[in-house]
A = this chain, B = another copy of it.
Amino acid sequence: MLYLIGLGLGDAKDITVKGLEVVKRCNRVYLESYTSVLTVGKEALEEFYGRKLILADREEVEQNADNILKDADLSDVAFLVVGDPFGATTHSDLVLRAAKRGIPYRVIHNASIMNAVGCCGLQLYNFGETVSIVFWTDTWRPESFFDKVKKNRQNGMHTLCLLDIKVKEQSLENLIKGRKIFEPPRFMSVNQAAQQLLEIVQNQRIRGEEPGIEETLCVGLARVGAEDQKIAACTLQQMCTVDLGGPLHSLIITGGSMHPLEIEMLNQFSISEDTSESKSIDGL
Contact = CB atoms under 8 A, between A and B. Distances in A.
A88 B124 contact: yes
A17 B17 contact: yes
A90 B155 contact: no
Given A8-B109, A17-B14, A129-B155, A93 B124 contact: no
Interface in A1-39: 6, 8-18, 20-21
Residue from A12, A13, A17, A87 having most chain B Cβ neighbours under 10 A: A17
Given A8-B109, A17-B16, A151-B155, A115 B261 contact: no
Contacts of A10: 18
- Copies of this chain, tallied across the complex: 2
Interface in A224-256: 224-225
A123 interface: yes
Contacts of A125: 88, 129-131
Nearest to A113: B115
A266 to B, nearest CB: 10
A265 interface: yes
B129 A90 contact: no
A63 interface: no
Contact of A90 (B90, B111, B118): B118
A53 B165 CA distance: 42
A86 B116 contact: yes
Residue from A10, A99, A110 having most chain B Cβ neighbours under 10 A: A110
A85 B111 CA distance: 11
A84 B111 contact: yes
B116 A124 contact: no
Interface in A94-135: 95-96, 99, 107-112, 114-116, 118-119, 121, 123-131
Nearest to A107: B119
A92 interface: yes
A75 interface: no
A131 B126 CA distance: 9
14 contacts: A15-B16, A16-B17, A16-B110, A86-B116, A90-B121, A92-B261, A92-B265, A96-B261, A107-B225, A109-B111, A109-B115, A110-B110, A111-B112, A127-B129
Interface of A: 6, 8-18, 20-21, 84-88, 90, 92-93, 95-96, 99, 107-112, 114-116, 118-119, 121, 123-131, 151, 155, 157, 224-225, 261-262, 264-265, 268
